[in-house]
Structure 1
Amino acid sequence: MHKNYIYFGLLLGSTLLLSFSGKESIQTVKNFSANFHLLNQAGSPGGKTGAPGDATCTQCHSGSVQSGSGFNLVTLTSGGSPVTEYLPSTTYQVTVTMSTNNVKNGFEIVPLNPNNTMAGTLAITDATHTKTITSLGKTRVTHKLAGTSLTSWSFNWTSPATNVGTVTFYLATNETNSNAGSTGDVIRTSQHPFGSQAGIQEAANKIETSIGYQASTNSLNIQLDSKVDGSVFVNVVDLSGKSVFTEDLGTVSSGESAFSVRLDKELNSGIYMVNVSVDNNMTLKRIFISK
């Protein structure tokens, strides 16, 4: 009888120990998840822009990636004036803007050259709200905890010392629902190309474009005459320097081509600049949209 008491005592003790260990493990996992999310509120861990070789914010936040075209805006300015092309070895202010009034947001951005390596250098001008982070051999800019209450952030970018062709800023934004968790957030990625002024004449010798806007279909009609083969990319920029539409049109062979590009939203009446590039050779045309 004494042996049975010992047996049941050991069994009860083991059950209580396993029960306690299970609860402790669950609590540890919960605490780790919460702490990891709080850590990311102070900025992206890096490598989440959607650029070639990068992941996206959905690695830490649930949901699918959405297009940031027209929602994510990148403005390049020099002396207070917006530009659509860069000069080598020149410092520009870069402003990232999300088209939202949401109360808590985040971002990560990186500029890459056509070889998908780092283009130029980045410098923080607002250390309260932004910071740099190095990941995968590239320097990026992301928000800090104090910056999550903003919808617009600025920093400086110094362009490469030589003409490297089109520099593309790869941007991912996170429009959060402030639930202190990783669910219910909206992740948007976008690409914002800026050509080199040093290469404009060279590009003009390689491609010619004629571009018009058709209001009935909200489309751009692009006639392209190219002397080179390559990927075709279109970027629409308003006069404030904001990229309002971007699209990859695939590849073309040298010769004449025609595209009808449906814009993803109605644009206000006014003048816009349309950049069309083939194999990183860019042309720039003005269009007028009248409603």
Structure 2
Amino acid sequence: MNKNYFFIGLLAASGILLSFSGHESIGTVKKFSKDYHTLNQAGSPGGRTGAPGDGVCTQCHSGTVQSGSGFNTVTLMEAGNPVTEYEASTTYQVQVSMATNNPKNGFEIVALSPSNTVAGTLAITDATHTKTITSGGKQRVTHKLAGTSLTSWSFNWTSPATNVGTVTFYLATNQTNSSSGDDGDVIRTSQHPFGTQLGIDEANSKVKTQIGYQHSTNSLNIQLNTKIDGSVYVNVVDLNGKSVFREDLGNVSAGESALSVRLDNELNSGIYMVNVSVDNNMTMKRVFISK
């Protein structure tokens, strides 16, 4: 009889011990999850941009990935002016923005060539809010803890020493709900391509151009270098392929020319493709018009 009581008592004690052990394990898992999320407040662990070979932020944050089109913005700046194309071996300021007033946010960005290799080098200009990280052998920029209070960040990017074609910035942003947990956040990924000012086809063409927009006069300034004589036409096309402005600039002789064309006031701000042709030999540039 005493042996039976002893056996029953031993089973009860074992059950209590297992119960405490189970709660402790659950608590440890929850603590690990929360601590891991807290660490991510100091920046992405890397490889979460949605670029080829990367994962996404939902590997650490619950929820689904949404499109960042129209919400995420990447702007390339040179001497304070936005550009849509890059020159080799040139340093630009990159501005990353989210269209939100949310009090707590984060991001990770990487620049890749068409072959998905690292394109250029990144340098931190605001060490208080941003830092570089390396994942998959690729350098990236992400937020620091102090940077989670921002909705935009900036850093420098030096373009490749040679023409590698279109460089794409892959960006992932996290609009958090400030819950100190890993759920309820909104993840958005986006891709932002930038071509070269001297394209591969243009290198051997008869017509080469550099085109800039002048806000004060609402004009396009065109530096033209042509190997032929002929009539010059300018055609401005929006990103939907619709021609929104066309102008005949008259005749030019072979060599270098500086031309200017005043745009219609009705033309809205945005990115446009500007086609310049000389005697039906065309070259094309992307231009950012900011009114």
> TM-score under structure 2 normalisation?
0.74
**CA shift at 1:274, angstroms?**
2.8
Pairs within 5 Å for 1:26-45: 26-45=26-45
Contact 2:176 2:184 (C-alpha < 8 Å) held by counterparts: yes
Q: 1:32 to 1:74 in 2, by over 3 A?
A: same
Equivalent position SS for 2:181 = coil
Q: In 2, Cα distance between the equivalents of 1:285 and 1:106?
A: 29
Q: Name the Cα RMSD after superposition.
A: 2.7
Q: 1:275 to 1:190 in 2, by over 3 A?
A: farther
Q: In 2, Cα distance between the equivalents of 1:134 and 1:275?
A: 35
**CA shift at 1:287, angstroms?**
9.3
The count of residues paired between Structure 1 and Structure 2 equals: 234
Select the structure of larger CA radius of gyration: 2
Structure 2: any 5+ residue segments left out of the alignment? 207-233, 244-265, 275-282
**CA shift at 1:50, angstroms?**
0.7
**CA shift at 1:284, angstroms?**
2.6
Pairs within 5 Å for 1:75-86: 75-86=75-86
Pairs within 5 Å for 1:178-257: 178-199=178-199, 202=202, 212=237, 220-221=240-241
Q: In 2, Cα distance between the equivalents of 1:144 and 1:288?
A: 33
Q: Which residue does the alignment assign to 2:268?
A: 270
Q: 1:194 to 1:46 in 2, by over 3 A?
A: same
Contact 1:203 1:283 (C-alpha < 8 Å) held by counterparts: no
Pairs within 5 Å for 1:98-247: 98-199=98-199, 202=202, 212=237, 220-221=240-241
Q: Which amino acid aligns with 1:86?
A: Y
Q: In 1, Cα distance between the equivalents of 2:17 and 2:167?
A: 60
Equivalent position SS for 1:221 = coil
Q: In 2, Cα distance between the equivalents of 1:155 and 1:285?
A: 23
> TM-score under structure 1 normalisation?
0.74
**CA shift at 1:123, angstroms?**
0.7
**CA shift at 1:92, angstroms?**
0.8
Contact 1:62 1:182 (C-alpha < 8 Å) held by counterparts: yes
**CA shift at 1:24, angstroms?**
0.6
Q: In 2, Cα distance between the equivalents of 1:7 and 1:271?
A: 83
Q: Which amino acid aligns with 2:18?
A: L
Q: Which residue does the alignment assign to 1:70?
A: 70
Q: 1:275 to 1:3 in 2, by over 3 A?
A: farther
Which shows bigger deviation, 78-87 or 197-206?
197-206
Q: 1:210 to 1:203 in 2, by over 3 A?
A: farther
Q: 1:165 to 1:285 in 2, by over 3 A?
A: closer
**CA shift at 1:286, angstroms?**
5.8
Q: 1:204 to 1:129 in 2, by over 3 A?
A: farther
**CA shift at 1:275, angstroms?**
5.1
Equivalent position SS for 2:75 = strand
Equivalent position SS for 1:10 = helix
Q: In 2, Cα distance between the equivalents of 1:103 and 1:285?
A: 34
Post-superposition, which runs of at least 4 consecutive aligned residues in structure 1 deviate over 3 A?
Answer: 203-206, 209-213, 285-289
**CA shift at 1:193, angstroms?**
0.8
Q: Deviations over 1:24-68 (max 9, x none)?
A: 101000101100110111111111101111111111112211111
Q: Which residue does the alignment assign to 2:216?
A: none
Equivalent position SS for 1:220 = coil
Q: 1:132 to 1:3 in 2, by over 3 A?
A: same
Contact 1:211 1:221 (C-alpha < 8 Å) held by counterparts: no
Q: Which residue does the alignment assign to 2:262?
A: none
**CA shift at 1:201, angstroms?**
5.8
Q: In 2, Cα distance between the equivalents of 1:221 and 1:119?
A: 28
Q: 1:32 to 1:72 in 2, by over 3 A?
A: same
**CA shift at 1:186, angstroms?**
0.9
Q: Which amino acid aligns with 2:93?
A: Q
Equivalent position SS for 2:241 = strand
Equivalent position SS for 1:160 = coil
Q: Which amino acid aligns with 1:273?
A: I
**CA shift at 1:5, angstroms?**
2.3
The percentage of aligned residue pairs carrying the same residue is: 69
Q: Which residue does the alignment assign to 1:96?
A: 96
